[in-house]
Structure 1
Amino acid sequence: MINSVTAPAAPGRTSWAGVVSLSLGFFAFVMSEFLPASLLPRIAGELGVSPGTAGQTVTVTAVGAVLSGLLLPAWLRHVDRRHVTLGLTVAAIVANLLVAVAPNLAVLLAARLLLGVALGGYWALAIAIVTRLVPDDRLGRAVTVINAGVSVATIAAVPLGTWLGELWGWRAVFLLGAGAAVLALVVQVVTLPRVAPESVGGLRALGSALRSGVLLLGLTAILLIAAGQFTGFTYIRPAAESVSGIDAGGLAVLLLVYGIANVLGTALSGFLVDRAMRVAAVGFPAVFGAGMLAMVVLGGSTIGLFAAAALWGFGFGGVPTTTQTWGARADPERLEQVGGLTVAVFQIAIALGAVVGGLLVDGAGATAALITGSIGAVSGGILLAAARRPT
């Protein structure tokens, strides 16, 4: 599996089945990443630790993803990307199996770190691989397909984990995560062609990417957009409760509406990105920013609250495809490095948004987090569109 490759992938080859296999991998990875959110009390109780300590299973996954996204493409710069992808999917299977049998917190954290390493590397390489599987004028639609796996996993992980955790216990839920990765692996083995690594690679290429003014501007924009999202979304429950008094059942429905709208936004994004990148760059962040503000202004009514959630979900649904396609077109010579940097920026934004939002919720109220997040999102969208239109 660690063989060097010199021959490039066949020029002009189209493999939508390969794109779908990458999407299945994203579904398995992201579902596995988010499963602890619904299972922390049970994990903590069985292992004899506090919920806060058990929550570090999420932290180590993020740390592993950041480091792997930046460094793994450089470390394996001579290896067939098909083999790397298969190896990372195997690592996700192993990580979930280790979680399922973990006798203590140390083993659990090590397994989650392995998952993060696999996730970050997979995400960094995925867009570069997709550009070898489809024509450039279909890139946005292909990125939409792989992000569909992310959207579905984001919606399904927490409620599915909660429900199955009650039926089967938390360990069995991670066996399900391993099973999803096995399915992705089988499809990848069948459909993914050989994909030679980029001719420009290694840490030097990463340094060159970081010296690009356009790319740095775009990454700053992506940081603002993503941090704006997670400044608000991390605290959507207290925000919704503060403006509407919604109960737990109503909140579940609200999040379902958000999730369905998110999938619709994802579905539309590829077609818009392929035709009008600048419109997508401004439009999707503006829409979800407007949804956050609408929740503050209109959330007192049931219709207004649910309309705001739908607007918010739809707008953010288009962000991953837009930002990833922008990066691929902004620096096509260093796709893997751009992918790794985008992974790192998103993970940093998640942490930054949670911290800033928490300070705002404690100091000024939950609606302050929504307002601030909206401003960050819209500002980032404008900045991304200004960072030279990719061609």
Structure 2
Amino acid sequence: MTDATFIETTSRPDAAWGAVMAMALCVALLIASEFMPVSLLTPMAEGLSATEGQTGQAISISGLFAVAASMLITTVAGRLNRKTVLVALTGLMLASLVMVAVAQSFAMLMLARALLGICVGGFWALATAVIMRLVPASEVPRGLSLMYGGQAIAAAFAAPMGSYLGDIIGWRGVFWALVPLVAGNLVWHLVALPSLPARGRQSLGTLIEVLRRPYFARGLIAAMLSWGAAFTMFTYLRPYLETVTRVDVTTLSILLLVLGSAGFIGTWAAGRFVGNNVAAQLKLPALIMGAVTLALIFAGASPVLTGLLLAIWGVMNTAMSVIFMTWMSQNVDDAPEAAGSLMVAAIQLSILLGAVIGGLLLDGFSITATFAGSVLLSAIATALIGSGRRMLKP
């Protein structure tokens, strides 16, 4: 965004751009908090006397509660002011980080991650609708792009910074470092968010009606398989880089930075090229990311080649969200909130299943088996999607 654009948008009296930026920061902190265990998996497992596969379930448990929260938030909190709900969810994120930092047992870690999952699912289920109330209709795309910018920043820097700082201040220190940032974000929400009275309660019947549409159900399953394949691999990337590529902490951080930074390219490219022909693009994430994961199984010993492959994977990882959300907006435009809740639930459930499947394969067999499981899920997703025509509304 140029300076001129920034001045123009922030000067508009009918747009709460400060609140939008507060939500963007919340997104960055949510993503960082949710996936920080990926870059700290090994030391966290050692510190809690657990296996790496068990510690990986810290991501799956947050996904489980995120699924439940995304489906129920608009019903349970339907009559509450949306500002109150967002502030409360941010408070849960703060409590979760403190609990992780002081955790002395695997059970405490799981409880803390469950709280984070409620925050993740609740926030994402409400986020788009809140943005639509903060800015004029013509500015909604800009507001959404700012909010998702927080996701891109976290994806680029959270993992490499986590692994690097974890080696210096310990994994507990990394989570403590996030605490003041989240506390500041909570205060920012209190100050910047206007009052957002509820506009009615979403009916569970609407969710069921949308889910019963065959083309949408197929697309939802395809999304779950695509994200499931991604997180079967991504959750256990650090053990792979340590045991197969055999990198030190510095190189590990560089490779994670390469992967995350490539996400900016994916976001830009998807925003530029994803359009009316979205059907043909639905299979690209699973196809390309699956091929990259397969290549890593055979070519992971070279740090340079691994870095190149991870960059390609990172591009498609961020493009995947834009592709599937564009598909959703074009094909369920009559019930976008219901479809959005179902998409958030499906994605979080796929993250849960990916972490569970990957952890079982890692503990039961090897990291190669984990990556092979990811490739298999990608292949199933690609076959299901096909040309993508069966996922378009009649």
CA distance change for structure 1 residues 329 and 140 in 2, over 3 Å: closer, same or farther? farther
Question: Any conservation in 1 of the 2:90–2:182 contact (CA below 8 Å)?
Answer: yes
* Equivalent position of 2:149 in the other structure: 148
Q: Which amino acid aligns with 1:92?
A: M
2-structure distance, mates of 1:292, 1:319: 16
Question: Any conservation in 1 of the 2:241–2:247 contact (CA below 8 Å)?
Answer: no
Shift of 1:265: 0.7
2-structure distance, mates of 1:196, 1:279: 40
Which has the higher mean CA deviation after the structures are superposed, 105-114 or 374-383? 374-383
Deviations 1:173-205 (A, max 9, x none): 323222222233334334434445454613333
Q: Which amino acid aligns with 1:221?
A: A
> How many residues align structurally?
377
Are residues 1:372 and 2:376 paired? yes
Deviations 1:226-282 (A, max 9, x none): 12323443455677799xx63314555433322211222123333444675446535
**Structure 2 SS opposite 1:248:** coil
Q: Which amino acid aligns with 2:379?
A: I
Instruction: Note the 1:192-341 alignment, pairs <5 A.
Output: 192-197=193-198, 199=200, 201-234=202-235, 236=237, 246-249=245-248, 252-273=253-274, 277-278=278-279, 280-292=281-293, 295=296, 305-332=306-333, 334-341=335-342
Q: Which runs of 5+ in 2 are unaligned?
A: 1-12
2-structure distance, mates of 1:381, 1:15: 39
Question: Any conservation in 1 of the 2:60–2:355 contact (CA below 8 Å)?
Answer: no
2-structure distance, mates of 1:324, 1:240: 31
Shift of 1:208: 2.8
Question: Any conservation in 1 of the 2:56–2:359 contact (CA below 8 Å)?
Answer: no
Question: Any conservation in 2 of the 1:282–1:384 contact (CA below 8 Å)?
Answer: yes
Shift of 1:164: 3.1
2-structure distance, mates of 1:380, 1:191: 44
**Structure 1 SS opposite 2:24:** helix
2-structure distance, mates of 1:260, 1:304: 16
**Structure 1 SS opposite 2:115:** helix
Shift of 1:318: 1.0
Q: Which amino acid aligns with 2:392?
A: R
**TM-score relative to the length of structure 2:** 0.77
1-structure distance, mates of 2:133, 2:172: 38
* Equivalent position of 1:9 in the other structure: none
**Structure 1 SS opposite 2:245:** coil
Instruction: Note the 1:16-55 alignment, pairs <5 A.
Output: 16-39=17-40, 55=56
CA distance change for structure 1 residues 317 and 42 in 2, over 3 Å: closer, same or farther? closer
Q: Which amino acid aligns with 1:220?
A: I
Question: Any conservation in 2 of the 1:143–1:270 contact (CA below 8 Å)?
Answer: no
CA distance change for structure 1 residues 296 and 164 in 2, over 3 Å: closer, same or farther? closer
Shift of 1:117: 1.0
CA distance change for structure 1 residues 139 and 280 in 2, over 3 Å: closer, same or farther? farther
Shift of 1:89: 0.9
2-structure distance, mates of 1:229, 1:198: 36
Question: Any conservation in 1 of the 2:40–2:162 contact (CA below 8 Å)?
Answer: yes
Shift of 1:359: 7.4
2-structure distance, mates of 1:81, 1:378: 38
2-structure distance, mates of 1:302, 1:57: 28
Q: Which amino acid aligns with 1:225?
A: S
Are residues 1:159 and 2:160 paired? yes
Shift of 1:85: 1.4
Question: Any conservation in 2 of the 1:281–1:385 contact (CA below 8 Å)?
Answer: no
* Equivalent position of 2:392 in the other structure: 388
1-structure distance, mates of 2:164, 2:254: 15
Question: Any conservation in 2 of the 1:327–1:338 contact (CA below 8 Å)?
Answer: yes
Question: Any conservation in 2 of the 1:140–1:273 contact (CA below 8 Å)?
Answer: no
* Equivalent position of 1:76 in the other structure: 77
Question: Any conservation in 1 of the 2:81–2:198 contact (CA below 8 Å)?
Answer: yes
* Equivalent position of 1:8 in the other structure: none
1-structure distance, mates of 2:106, 2:160: 24
Q: Which runs of 5+ in 1 are unaligned?
A: 1-11
1-structure distance, mates of 2:207, 2:269: 32
Q: Which amino acid aligns with 2:215?
A: V
CA distance change for structure 1 residues 195 and 388 in 2, over 3 Å: closer, same or farther? farther
* Equivalent position of 2:88 in the other structure: 87
Instruction: Note the 1:105-184 alignment, pairs <5 A.
Output: 105-133=106-134, 142-184=143-185
Q: Which amino acid aligns with 1:387?
A: M
Identity, in percent, stands at: 32
Which has the higher mean CA deviation after the structures are superposed, 144-153 or 109-118? 144-153
Deviations 1:314-367 (A, max 9, x none): 111111233234334433454443333222212222243345556778498566
Question: Any conservation in 2 of the 1:224–1:379 contact (CA below 8 Å)?
Answer: no
**Structure 2 SS opposite 1:318:** helix
Question: Any conservation in 2 of the 1:147–1:266 contact (CA below 8 Å)?
Answer: no
Question: Any conservation in 1 of the 2:22–2:189 contact (CA below 8 Å)?
Answer: yes
Shift of 1:110: 2.8
2-structure distance, mates of 1:384, 1:193: 41
2-structure distance, mates of 1:252, 1:135: 40
Q: Which amino acid aligns with 1:22?
A: M
- Alpha-carbon RMSD across the aligned residues, in angstroms, is 3.9
1-structure distance, mates of 2:19, 2:231: 31
Shift of 1:140: 5.6
Shift of 1:218: 2.1
